[in-house]
A and B are shown apart, each in its own frame.
Chain A
């Protein structure tokens, strides 16, 4: 099978890969580029463990052909910190114990990040937060700690102090 050139930016870095066009975005992220934070937990686009952002929007990377993100910006959980400084949502997850086994955590963080960025400073209702992570399954936490963490960031408890 002929290979196609795919150019994409992942976590601020440009990459070029040659892929079989049937390659899924999650396979490029994990197997070609080595970012294993993003996980896979199902074959039916159900679990959300593979969630990343594409041009700021949360998507399930197992449900997208990699060729469709040519020229776009992907962010994974590895891309949330800046020079070792954790993002507000990561800090909130630590403070609220919003993870246990951690397998769903990367996907959760990306759904949360997309949601928080879209808010543009607006304070969301609780049900909106729940809807934001509705596509991400968690078997360990029961979700409420994750909702609390997102709520804390949305309410401004973690003002960004980036240089």
Chain B
């Protein structure tokens, strides 16, 4: 471990929200209670596809305690979506006017004095439907005669994406002559965010025409803008407050029914209305990870040099676009990652179906893409008798590489990651029967360059204000959803300004007081909000130091800096003055005005995806019981390049948390639908990994410096979700010789693969 040159960065600091969270003081939207508050409940469609003919709310309104019932007719009927720039992708009326497109879709909402009364009222709402034929799988929905889910959308194709570079056909032709080509089909399942806090919102509309919404959100700004848009309000008249947020993972930055319906009800009554989804509602009627069918065709030279890849992907978009369009693109890009391809072609098709919409979820299409890519690479290595580490190393991205037309790679520790994991795997020696280690490489973006939201604001902003006593108010728009962004920003601010974390008070989660920020998704905040904070703190420090230069009057060749509350000459650190004294002088010098520093960041000319990419290789040590198919994960080791770690305690938390979620995606979590109905909408039947199944996890940090990131930092929250399913599949491949082409890897699928392998062996013997 190299010595840390920083005073605050990369030191073990307590999470600044820790005291609130470990003492029960932290309040979440779930806990918000306001005087006169009413409780809302949502009536949901029992049909996957149906016209709404009539909704009779009269009986429900008569129930004592019921204050209002709303349907689509009580709204502006605006079709909204998060891809605001593209009207055709704004396809969702949260309370639809004409038809429902998935089981669980809201059709009406009730506000009553108690939750129990609101729920009883739901049974009294009469909805007349005309049931329509429905379709549930993308490969069915894309057929010519499939039911039309959105009028005017041909073959239910919601979005397509094409990524291409190099001469793909030429490369395949070469491989056909004297190389090797392999093609495989894969099926990746959905997954639910399953945040511990379900979707929740408390809306309060007041007679002055202002709306305040407390909500569990990853982006208060997005919700402010989206709510204003659908409710016909000015953004400035909508205040979104994020109390502590109980998890997001990609599922809480789009407008959801809790926010929308509570707002509509509140606007009707001028009373606060609270809607909290039950776990069942959360599971059937939010949005999930995108299930994907992948066709992958790869051409390599006999020595393992990658030539070209041609892939086609069909995703189950569910009923609406949501963030699915982004997942479609990112999946296709990270399907090529982290390798150099002479030619690459990806065609992605997002297809509407009559199921719960699919959207972003940690990893954003990459876990699926990597599951296919990294396993096929392993099988190619086996087919050709090549070493999987050597092949990966040979083709890996390097510093300075340009993914043609897509991305500029600056810092890149891929090779070092491969070296470290290779060493680690070798050190484990021979493992017992039915047990093996599988590996997977990948990487991820540190926030996206795209502005499909069509914001006029900087992607991230920050304001640093220094008080008389030297304490610092840091206002940011980035949202802490548990990943510790408040702490990360406090660390960056403290390091830059030269103070301690305990001197910095972070303000976030309130659109009335904080600048706009795109929020916590796409693993963007450390890089983007971090850059904004660094800029703001530098601005504040520069203003502050003007007074120190004046005070100390030293030779023009000398510089001043502040470290650990000590203002000093850089060349002669023993000469200086306390930061706290300087602040007092500065305030007086500015006529009693506090120093305010401003910072912001928007990526410009950073390629098509992201300013910077993390890299990693992960090894999963797994054992299978070949008679029952049960999988036991023994250990996970990851070599990880996230540039400069800012918050080491937080980094380990991201590694372990991502591993737990990715393992779930690999072998535990499943969302089976039957005729559009989710069969396991509860936490008994939806299997989330528990402490007893969680393996030991280790991390090898690879040191790089990313010029685009604050102090060289890049992402760590999402990329770590990408490799695990593939690594697990590769472990099973080496342990039992089976190729798992479907997620999740269930015991039944393992046994089926074993049987098929034995059958194939027998057939080979007989021929």
Could you tell me which A residues sit within 8 Å of B by CB distance? Answer: 30, 35-44, 46-47, 49, 76-78, 80-81, 86, 90, 93-97, 99-106, 109, 127, 129-131, 133-134, 136-147
Contact yes or no, B15 A39, CB < 8 A: no
Which 10 pairs from chain A and chain B are nearest by CB?
Answer: A37-B24, A101-B482, A142-B656, A103-B246, A102-B21, A100-B482, A77-B24, A142-B660, A46-B683, A97-B649
Contact yes or no, A90 B23, CB < 8 A: yes
Q: B406 at the A/B interface (Cβ < 8 Å)?
A: no
Counting residue pairs across A and B whose Cβ atoms lie within 8 Å, the total is 171
Cβ < 8 Å to A, chain B residues 15-32: 15, 17-28, 30-31
28 A-B contacts (beta carbon < 8 Å): A36-B31, A37-B26, A39-B197, A39-B246, A41-B198, A42-B279, A43-B682, A44-B279, A44-B683, A47-B196, A95-B14, A97-B649, A100-B657, A101-B244, A101-B247, A102-B20, A102-B246, A102-B482, A103-B30, A103-B195, A103-B196, A137-B690, A138-B660, A139-B249, A139-B657, A140-B657, A143-B660, A144-B656
Contact yes or no, A142 B682, CB < 8 A: no
Residue of B nearest to A146 (CB): B691
Cβ < 8 Å to A, chain B residues 207-265: 244-247, 249
Contact yes or no, B246 A101, CB < 8 A: yes
Most chain A CB within 10 A, of B19, B22, B198, B683, is at: B22
Most chain A CB within 10 A, of B26, B481, B655, B688, is at: B26
Residue of B nearest to A150 (CB): B691
Residue of B nearest to A110 (CB): B24
A86 touches which one: B23, B653, B657, B658 (CB < 8 A)?
Answer: B23
Complex contacts, B658 vs chain A, CB 8 Å: 142
Q: B659 at the A/B interface (Cβ < 8 Å)?
A: yes
Known: A43-B279, A140-B482. A38 touches B195 (CB 8 A): no
Contact yes or no, A133 B195, CB < 8 A: no
Q: B502 at the A/B interface (Cβ < 8 Å)?
A: no
Complex contacts, A40 vs chain B, CB 8 Å: 30
Complex contacts, A143 vs chain B, CB 8 Å: 656, 660, 690-691, 694
Complex formed: what's the CA distance from A139 to B658 in Å?
9
Size class of the contact patch on chain B: 35 or more
Contact yes or no, A104 B196, CB < 8 A: yes
Contact yes or no, A102 B657, CB < 8 A: no
Complex contacts, B154 vs chain A, CB 8 Å: none
Complex formed: what's the CA distance from A133 to B691 in Å?
7
Contact yes or no, A134 B195, CB < 8 A: no
Complex contacts, B649 vs chain A, CB 8 Å: 96-97
Contact yes or no, B25 A37, CB < 8 A: yes
Contact yes or no, A37 B23, CB < 8 A: yes
Q: B684 at the A/B interface (Cβ < 8 Å)?
A: yes
Contact yes or no, A130 B691, CB < 8 A: yes
Complex contacts, B22 vs chain A, CB 8 Å: 77, 86, 90, 93-94, 99, 102, 105, 109
B26 touches which one: A42, A102, A142, A146 (CB < 8 A)?
Answer: A102
Complex contacts, B655 vs chain A, CB 8 Å: 142
Q: B692 at the A/B interface (Cβ < 8 Å)?
A: yes
Contact yes or no, B482 A78, CB < 8 A: no
Contact yes or no, A134 B682, CB < 8 A: no
B23 touches which one: A77, A138, A140 (CB < 8 A)?
Answer: A77
Q: B519 at the A/B interface (Cβ < 8 Å)?
A: no
Contact yes or no, B24 A36, CB < 8 A: yes
Contact yes or no, B682 A139, CB < 8 A: no
Complex contacts, A103 vs chain B, CB 8 Å: 28, 30, 195-197, 244, 246-247
Contact yes or no, B691 A46, CB < 8 A: no
Given contacts A103-B246, A142-B653, A142-B657, 14 further A-B pairs with CB under 8 A are A36-B27, A44-B682, A86-B23, A94-B19, A96-B649, A101-B195, A101-B244, A103-B30, A131-B691, A134-B690, A134-B691, A137-B683, A140-B196, A145-B656
A41 touches which one: B20, B196, B652, B661 (CB < 8 A)?
Answer: B196
Complex contacts, A44 vs chain B, CB 8 Å: 279, 682-684
A77 CB to nearest chain B CB (Å): 4
Complex formed: what's the CA distance from A144 to B244 in Å?
23
Q: B156 at the A/B interface (Cβ < 8 Å)?
A: no
B489 CB to nearest chain A CB (Å): 16
Contact with A along B644-676 (1 / 0, CB 8 A): 000001101101111111000000000000000
Contact yes or no, B483 A100, CB < 8 A: yes
Complex contacts, B660 vs chain A, CB 8 Å: 138-139, 141-143
Complex contacts, B593 vs chain A, CB 8 Å: none
Complex contacts, B481 vs chain A, CB 8 Å: 101
Contact yes or no, A76 B24, CB < 8 A: yes
Complex formed: what's the CA distance from A30 to B682 in Å?
23
Residue of A nearest to B696 (CB): A144
Complex formed: what's the CA distance from A44 to B658 in Å?
25
Complex formed: what's the CA distance from A66 to B610 in Å?
53
Q: B280 at the A/B interface (Cβ < 8 Å)?
A: yes
Contact yes or no, B28 A144, CB < 8 A: no
Cβ < 8 Å to A, chain B residues 673-713: 682-684, 688, 690-692, 694, 696-697
Complex contacts, B691 vs chain A, CB 8 Å: 129-131, 133-134, 136, 138, 143, 146-147
Contact yes or no, A139 B194, CB < 8 A: yes
Complex formed: what's the CA distance from A152 to B17 in Å?
21
Most chain A CB within 10 A, of B197, B650, B697, is at: B197
